[in-house]
Structure 1
Amino acid sequence: MIKYFKKYSCLAIAFTILSSIVSATIFVRADEQIVDFSGTGRPNEQTDGGSRGNCGGAIASNDQLTALVPQTMSLTVSEAPTFWVYIPDDPKNLEYSELILQDEIAERPIYRIRYQLENTPGVVRVNAPSDREYQLEPQKLYRWYFKVKCTGGNQVAVGGLIERVTLPPSAQNNRGYLDNKIWHEILTEVGNRLRLSPDNSVIREEWKLLLNAPGVNLNHLGDRPLVACCEMEEE
């Protein structure tokens, strides 16, 4: 299954996330102990393991295609989680990108989503499809990949393992997500607020704290811009 994308309009983004962002409170503070996201599971692929790091020629060690996830398996409470990826390349060097999810045990693809990128370089938000047949099941392991096909022909890929977990109603809030190391909801909460208010120094600091948390160690991406990506469009 392949789907194609078109850009979000700024108005659509603002309309869909404004209410939650305005009412949200800062829940990661510089004066409190940040959660340690280190784990004992198999490692994620934050960057491409080979010599390829981007599609634009010379490769800088801190300027590669990067999945914004902990160094080991990440957790979500959503049946359709949001992924965040840093893309260092100019659109002219990108042919297309794909988001791929597969069942970790069966090793079979559940979906493949292809789309074009127009606003890079920057950090993009990639939403998984919410169709019922593609939803993550609780307490089950999945592997996801974000692949970039370069105009020069080579491919770069990042990704990792993700598990959907369940929490009691009392923990289904920002503080509960943080206490239970629910990475995808924490990062998406802060990332959505930062996209709406990119000049807000308090939110930017919170974003940096998450990326620099133990077990994540992506502090070099804290100042990278968050750019509009795309919405799913049927082929």
Structure 2
Amino acid sequence: MISIPISSQASPSKNLPTPPRTGTPTGNPTPNGGSRPEASGGCRQMKHPVTALVKTGQDFTLSEKPTLWFYIPYTTAEVHAIEFSLHNAQQTKTLYRTTIQAPATPGIIAVPTQPNTSLKIGEKYYWKLILDCQAKKEADIPDLSLDGWVQRLEMPANFAKQLQFTPAKARTQQYLDAGGWYDALTHLAKLRSQNSQDANLQQQWSQLLKSAGWDNLTDQPLIEP
């Protein structure tokens, strides 16, 4: 089979809106209370921390119901609760909130948005992922939290039609070229799950993660939902 590489240089940024700059969402895990997780009795530090698979400056999707992806280094024995929530940009309204089952082994998990929650074109949405490793706590403060943004872009003209005539392995780059980072990641992850022994897809996956700076996660397994 011919491997179709993911270009780390391909960037639709000149046609993308400027990501929101509030100074709040980071996409990186932070222990609350200003202390190290293990010092506060929370989640223990791991070699590879909890990670949101979002490329800096490309928090965009073409889908009204995107799927977000996270690397979880903990197992069901180490995490008491994981919660994901989606809010409007002003964080005045919660659109979706759900609990997530920790994986049996560390790996990359998918978090779909709720079927009756549809993102509107051009609007920004704030998401948050919190982890509690302790069953009992004195204060209602999560042990670890991540947050970030997602914005739905308008699909380019004839994009859906062009996609139909594009080989499955080439669609990842097509999504990237249109600005749909979340869609590219989801499409490639689904292909990998369906063809786990395909070395070319593994290479594409590694290239995609490396393009976002996650060289350390390329060998982490995809956990089936």
Could you say whether these structures have the same fold, taking a TM-score greater than 0.5 normalized by the shorter chain as the test? yes
> Map of 1:214-225 to 2, 5 A cutoff?
216-225=212-221
**1:88 maps to what in 2?**
73
Instruction: Report the CA distance shift for 1:33/1:123 in structure 2 as closer, same or farther (over 3 A).
Output: closer
What's the TM-score once normalised by structure 1's chain length?
0.73
Distance in 2 separating the partners of 1:227 and 1:97: 15
Instruction: Report the CA distance shift for 1:116/1:206 in structure 2 as closer, same or farther (over 3 A).
Output: same
CA contact (8 A) 1:95 1:116 kept: no
**1:183 maps to what in 2?**
181
- State the AA in 1 paired with 2:215: N
- 2:188 corresponds to 1:162: no
Instruction: Report the CA distance shift for 1:35/1:52 in structure 2 as closer, same or farther (over 3 A).
Output: farther
Distance in 2 separating the partners of 1:191 and 1:204: 10
**2:198 maps to what in 1?**
200
CA contact (8 A) 1:170 1:176 kept: no
**2:166 maps to what in 1?**
none
Distance in 1 separating the partners of 2:79 and 2:8: 40
Greater Cα offset, 44-53 or 151-160: 44-53
- TM-aligned CA deviation for residue 93 of structure 1: 1.0
Distance in 2 separating the partners of 1:49 and 1:218: 18
Structure 2, unmatched stretches of 5+, are: 164-170
- TM-aligned CA deviation for residue 73 of structure 1: 4.8
Instruction: Report the CA distance shift for 1:217/1:110 in structure 2 as closer, same or farther (over 3 A).
Output: same
Instruction: Report the CA distance shift for 1:177/1:103 in structure 2 as closer, same or farther (over 3 A).
Output: same
**2:124 maps to what in 1?**
141
- State the AA in 2 paired with 1:146: L
**1:35 maps to what in 2?**
10
- State the AA in 1 paired with 2:184: I
- TM-aligned CA deviation for residue 34 of structure 1: 3.9
**1:49 maps to what in 2?**
30
- TM-aligned CA deviation for residue 143 of structure 1: 0.7
What's the TM-score once normalised by structure 2's chain length?
0.76
Instruction: Report the CA distance shift for 1:118/1:176 in structure 2 as closer, same or farther (over 3 A).
Output: closer
- 2:159 corresponds to 1:171: yes
Greater Cα offset, 91-100 or 146-155: 146-155
* From 55, 58, 63, the counterpart of 1:70: 55
Structure 1, unmatched stretches of 5+, are: 1-24, 230-235
- TM-aligned CA deviation for residue 169 of structure 1: 3.9
- TM-aligned CA deviation for residue 199 of structure 1: 2.6
- TM-aligned CA deviation for residue 26 of structure 1: 6.0
Distance in 2 separating the partners of 1:199 and 1:36: 29
The count of aligned residue pairs is 197
Pairwise CA RMSD: 2.7
Distance in 2 separating the partners of 1:142 and 1:46: 13
